[in-house]
Amino acid sequence: MESGVERVRDGIHTRSVLSAGASYSLAVVCSGAGEVRLTVSVKRSAPRTVACDGVPVRQRLVEVPAHVEVDVDGLAGASGIVGWRIDEVTG
């Protein structure tokens, strides 16, 4: 569906146009040092801290609105690269 890669210092600030009411899977991975804060604008989603250890974290997005904002910001001392991907969940 959609994906991207940015430097941690630049962060990720994207607004994805999705099919309202559908389900999606969001994967975020950070490689480098420190931690980043992941915020997704969907119901029942609290900000998460993601370590920059190269291990992807996944979040299921259910009954999404037509637009979903994904923000990833580096915490103090964080450096490296952060990537994200949204896939539609079928079946």
CATH number of the domain encompassing residue 42: 2.60.120.380
Q: Which amino acid is at 21?
A: G
Q: Rounded to whole angstroms, how far apart are CA atoms 80 and 26?
A: 20
What is the per-residue pLDDT for 42?
87
pTM for the structure as a whole: 0.90
Return the structure tokens found at 15.
């607004």
How many domains does the chain divide into? Answer: 1
Closest CA to 57 of 38, 78, 43, 32: 38
Structural domain boundaries, residue 36:
2-88
Residues in the chain predicted with pLDDT less than 70, given as ranges, are: 91
Q: Rounded to whole angstroms, how far apart are CA atoms 42 and 67?
A: 9
What is the per-residue pLDDT for 1?
83
How high does pLDDT run on average in the chain? 94
